[in-house]
Chains A and B, each alone.
Chain A
Amino acid sequence: MFQVGFSDAVTSRHLFLNSETPLRQRISIMDMWIQGLLAVFEGQNLLFLLLGTGYGLLIGALPGLGPSFGVASMLPLTFILPPSTAIIFLASIHASTAYGDSIASILINTPGGAGSVASCWDGYPLARQGKAGFALGIATAGSTMGGIIGWLCLMLVSPILMTVALMIGPPEYAMLALLALSLISVASKGATLKGLILGGVGLLLSFVGFDPTSGFIRFSFGTLYLRDGIGIIPVTLGLFALSQAIVLSTEKSERIVETFSPSDRVLDGFYHAFGYPGTVLRAGLIGIFLGVMPALGISTANIVAYLSEKKASKTPETFGRGNPRGLLAPEVAKNACVVGDLVPTFTLGIPGSTTTALFLAALMLQGIAPGPDFFQKGAFSYTVFMGILMAQLAFCLIGLMTARYFSRVVYVQKAILVPCIVVLSFVGAYGINNELIDILVTIIFGIVGYLLNKYGFPVVCIVLGLVLGKMFESNFHRSLIIGYGQPTIFFKRPISLSILILIVAFLTWPYIASASKGLFSHLIQRGKRKMNQPLP
């Protein structure tokens, strides 16, 4: 086996196998891929890949619980796992939850999560026609193909972004953290101001505890607990899992009027899905594009894919009445987006969605910074990438074999489900430090999350601020040291300045757009009035 310095092997050309790559390095890269593949099949990695898939399917099938809950609830467990196992575990939960979400959409016309809204539109009519198994088969094939398309994108786009990541320094990383915060705020439509406030609050929470530059203890209010800072896990569990439990506890159990069990063959639908390559390609590209674009996620991808498929169809009137393409397109787009979301997260540290913000938190907990650091950990990145591919195949296989059994989960009573969520959250919070006080922090953030959701605040901004806070602060201070204490360093470097301009553009765009809209409508009104005036 050839050994080369892995720091060299992180650049884009090393992840590609092009003709200019020396033979020795090409063999080394192949060696890394094989090592990655073999590592996925090692006992612990494989076990957690399968466990993650099973858990993801279970959570996905439960109406109202989506990928962010699935990943957030298992985040504490990753703390005791090796880095590659932790990320593979979360990736398998993420992929299979996104797929499992469709089970509830198809069988009871209730989206399992925001990413499977469009799956109801043709999935449920198919179930009503007695083709529930067929619909589940299409969903399985579509999600798998989408996941593989997303994985190919991860392989191709990551190296390109990595070359950018290698060119940038502390000022640019500080600006990228701000860009991530502003993008997520802008993406929360109509709540940009609220998103920015919460992003700021998240940053303020990250300042609690030791200052990374001077070691000074800040905002501990004399308590021992706050000296180490506010933990990401209790906050995340509170904001995403417990707040969801509070919401579910207030909802009345809806009586499901019409339910369908998959009595026909799931495999028929699975094979049928391969008959629409155009649909798969179109929806896959939409999913990838919306996934790679920071701040746009599966909630947008599945609907956009459905609508574009309907537009491209020669028989749009059949959509909404059980057209297989109407189910296949959102399924492909959803899982392509799920994997595509990981590209900016792993390469630049800009999470594309709530769930990938949790991936970023998991990386930070493992002591791995996104960007070059992610790719400089031996065969780690290769193992993770192969693990992500295997996660797609795992949910496909398990889904085909067990979809009809998992579908029974959709009928679980909320009164039993809610206490289970609470216990899971509390145990997760306790397990990190073996301290019961973490449970109290989870409860506090659960209430905060519930209230913020109720008043339309985008909760993800707090987590993002908390996760990116330390990275932002250390890079901010490092930049000041490089710039001899002058903040002008952020304006002098072209990439930093470009990111700053982007931030300003993103933040001011909604206001400019609405102002220009108002101006245009005013001009049109004036023009109409003039036209209606009688000629002299």
Chain B
Amino acid sequence: MVLGALSGIILFQSLSMPAIPALLPRLVSILVLALSFASIANELLFSRKKEDQAEEQGREKVGEKGSISVLAFVLLMLGYWLFAYLIGLLAATFLFMVISPSLMGFQKRRITMAAATVITVLLFACFRWVFQMPLPRGIFF
């Protein structure tokens, strides 16, 4: 449904474009829309059957706990990206390397700190001497 909506937006946008650059986007978005409707119809028609089959097979649904941990991990990655703007990529990498193992339940602090230090130093060395590229500095330092 989401993918169908995305193609709907593209189709709507392409209506206000000249003919040649809009030709293929229009064709493809109509095709994706049609396929999305077919997929939804397919799901609606056969979903009952599939649900029964899933129950029979004893397939476990992803629990609430799993969804929360995914959400927490995604938020942590977004935080890493934001902190790269604020405190620079190196410092943000070190912080991420320290925080994320404990979020995943890893308790050995010494190993975490060692891994974080090694990765940060490697990152610095690669950018400085191998790629010879500037690392993004943050607003604060």
A contacts, CB < 8 Å to B: 80, 193-194, 196-198, 200-201, 203-204, 207, 211, 213-214, 216, 218-219, 242, 246, 249-250, 413-416, 418-420, 422-423, 426-427, 430-431, 434, 436, 439-440, 443, 446-447, 450, 454, 472-473, 476-477
Contacts and interface: CB of A to CB of B under 8 A. Distances in A.
A197 B32 contact: yes
A530 B122 CA distance: 77
Nearest to B99: A419
Nearest to B92: A426
B3 A197 contact: yes
Interface in B20-43: 20-22, 24-25, 28-29, 31-32, 35-36, 38-39, 42
Nearest to A207: B25
Contacts of B93: 423
B14 to A, nearest CB: 8
The listed residue with most B CB atoms (<10 A of its CB), out of A416, A431, A446, A476, is A416
B105 A415 contact: yes
B133 interface: yes
A415 B20 contact: no
Contacts of B106: 413, 415-416
Contacts of B69: 249-250
Nearest to B116: A419
A416 B116 CA distance: 9
A292 B34 CA distance: 32
B11 to A, nearest CB: 9
8 residue pairs, one from A and one from B, having the closest CB atoms: A415-B106, A211-B21, A200-B32, A415-B101, A216-B21, A415-B104, A419-B100, A249-B73
Contacts, number: 137
Contact of B115 (A213, A416, A473): A416
Contact of A477 (B13, B20, B101, B134): B20
A204 B10 contact: yes
Interface string B106-141: 100001100100010001001000010110100000
Contacts of B111: 413, 416
Interface residues of B, number: 53
Nearest to A415: B106
B134 A423 contact: no
Given A214-B20, A250-B73, A477-B20, 20 more contacts: A80-B131, A193-B35, A197-B3, A197-B39, A200-B28, A201-B3, A204-B25, A211-B21, A219-B10, A219-B13, A418-B104, A419-B115, A419-B119, A422-B80, A426-B84, A431-B133, A436-B85, A443-B78, A450-B70, A454-B62
B18 A214 contact: yes
Given A211-B20, A249-B73, A423-B93, A201 B7 contact: yes
A203 B136 CA distance: 32
Given A219-B13, A422-B96, A194 B39 contact: yes
A478 to B, nearest CB: 12
A427 B69 CA distance: 24
Given A416-B115, A436-B136, A201 B70 contact: no
A246 B100 CA distance: 12
Contacts of B101: 413, 415-416, 419
30 contacts: A193-B42, A200-B31, A213-B21, A214-B18, A214-B21, A218-B14, A218-B25, A219-B13, A246-B70, A249-B69, A249-B104, A250-B73, A413-B101, A414-B104, A415-B105, A416-B101, A416-B112, A418-B100, A419-B101, A419-B119, A420-B119, A422-B96, A430-B89, A434-B134, A436-B136, A439-B81, A440-B81, A472-B24, A473-B24, A476-B24
B70 A250 contact: yes
